[in-house]
Structure 1
Amino acid sequence: MKKLKSALMSAVFGLSAMGMAVLAIPEAAAAETAQEAAVRKLVEPRLGESVKVDSVVKTPYAGMFEVRVGGDILYTDEKAQFLFIGNVFDSKNGTNYTKARTDEFNKVKFSELPLDSAIKMVKGDGKRVIAVFEDPNCGYCKQFRKTLAGMDNITVYTFMYNILAEESKTISKNIWCSADRNKAWDEWMLHGKVAPAAATNCNNPNEKVFALGQKLRVNGTPAVFFTDGTRVPGAMDAKGLESRLAAVAAAKPN
């Protein structure tokens, strides 16, 4: 979204941020109609060369078109004269349709995550499973790590995602190359204790994890992924995490 907003700010027409009351969420079309293709042709060059439009779908409200760029959504009219950045709500029940759509686009296949590139922590029976992208220099990640330390019956796969500082790469490599990665990670994140320097020939997944995070559009840390493919950006508190895990378990087919 940062790249998208930057491109929009440099566009030659104005933007309006707004929330719109609607009655129904648009369904993704199997293929763009001629009208949708025409809107794409108009809007894409106005967003800038660095922005690629993935889909355009006509919505059932106010003659607007949903424009998807990566995992983000914006709205425009049939002439692409105006752009609207914001959330579309149902005024009757409060449903946030924009969030529902972005959640759908941003889903991942949890089973396809390269978990061998993550630090695995198992507490209790470990039946509840999450994956987390964290930078070792991320204060919110350290806060979330304290939350995880107080939980039980959970398996946590931590991808050390180095995006905040060059130093993060060194810290992650040292932790990955430690005899006990879990202990080294917790010692650093919870107590600020530095892991011993890694041997120069110690292989680590830094580059692989960075590429994965970029592919999944992880733009900040922590980012929590659940087994149903959904994600939550930012540090969750214990109550929120427990609630989300319960919802995932309840929706799981028997």
Structure 2
Amino acid sequence: MKLSRSLTLWATLMLSPVVFASSPTPNDMLKQKIQDTLGLEVSSITAAPIDGLFQVITNRGVLYVTPDGSKLVHGNIYDLNDAMNNLTELALAGPRLEMLKGFEDKMLVYKAKDEKHVVTVFTDITCGYCRKLHREMADYNKLGITVRYLAFPRQGVPSPNADEMEAVWCAKDPRKAMDDAKAGKAITAAKCDADIAGQYNLGGSFGINGTPAIILEDGSLIPGYQPANELFEVLERRGKH
């Protein structure tokens, strides 16, 4: 009997899956340190364009960190051998497009009748250049540029500014409310699932700190106002690459 029980126990152990506790990888430890020290959410860690650094994409943009996590660099890396191509901006292009997909149902869209290009603009209703861009919406649409708005209240969230933008997004006619708000008219308070905070945080993760901020079709960012004809030329040029 003892032999039989021993054989049964041995067979059970041999057939059972063996689970080993996995040790944290260097990337895991680096991610944890950045989250604990800076309070940032880390979405990816990859090799940086400069040897000896890691490129870390966070909810507040791109950082460069030494492998041991002791030193951090914040800024843009440019390629002198490629017409000063901004490699930091390039690193964010793909992730931006992916993250935008989750907010498409929150966008206020001014669609061009003969659509050739689509841009996403992070906007604020009190910003002077945002209002200028909005007054010229017909010019963008006439050139075939569809404009999709996301909210970026410059006072942050929560704030009276954010509440006003929620009122626009939650109005019975959001586009008319946007027209009125950009013209300086008062907007009736309204609440809904507009997720203004989510839109604002999304902009922050894109590296946006002012409005208007324009995301192009390739995921690149143009900070500030662009006249319709100049924006069209940029889009056409990018589309040919």
TM-score (norm: length of structure 2): 0.65
Give the fraction of aligned pairs with identical amino acids, expressed as a percent: 22
Counterparts of residues 126-165 of structure 1 (less than 5 Å): 126-151=115-140, 152=142, 153-162=144-153, 164=155, 165=159
Match of residue 102 from structure 1: 92
Larger radius of gyration: 2
Distance 1:80 1:176, change over 3 A: closer
Deviation at 1:76, TM superposition (A): 3.3
Unaligned runs of 5+ in 2: 1-22
Deviation at 1:141, TM superposition (A): 1.6
Counterparts of residues 10-29 of structure 1 (less than 5 Å): none
1:177 aligns to 2:171 (yes or no): yes
1:224 aligns to 2:218 (yes or no): no
CA contact (8 A) 2:120 2:215 kept: yes
CA RMSD of aligned residues (A): 3.7
1:94-122 deviations in Å (ceiling 9; x for gaps): 2222221122333336555433x333323
SS at match of 2:215: strand
Q: Which of 58, 64, 71 is the equivalent residue of 2:53?
A: 64
Deviation at 1:71, TM superposition (A): 5.7
Which letter does structure 1 place at the counterpart of 2:149? T
Which letter does structure 1 place at the counterpart of 2:185? K
Distance 1:237 1:51, change over 3 A: same
Which letter does structure 2 place at the counterpart of 1:177? A
SS at match of 1:51: coil
Match of residue 63 from structure 2: 74
Counterparts of residues 82-93 of structure 1 (less than 5 Å): 82-93=71-82
CA contact (8 A) 2:117 2:146 kept: yes
Which letter does structure 1 place at the counterpart of 2:231? L
1:15-39 deviations in Å (ceiling 9; x for gaps): xxxxxxxxxxxxxxxxxxx9x9436
Match of residue 186 from structure 1: 179
User: How far, CA to CA, are the matches of 1:112 and 1:237 in structure 2?
Assistant: 28
Which letter does structure 1 place at the counterpart of 2:146? T
Deviation at 1:169, TM superposition (A): 2.0
Deviation at 1:48, TM superposition (A): 0.7
User: How far, CA to CA, are the matches of 2:231 and 2:165 in structure 1?
Assistant: 27
SS at match of 1:73: strand
Unaligned runs of 5+ in 1: 1-33
Counterparts of residues 195-234 of structure 1 (less than 5 Å): 195=187, 197=188, 204-206=192-194, 208-215=195-202, 217=205, 219-220=208-209, 221-234=211-224
SS at match of 2:111: strand
Greater alpha carbon shift after TM alignment, 131-140 vs 227-236? 227-236
TM-score (norm: length of structure 1): 0.62
Match of residue 119 from structure 1: 108
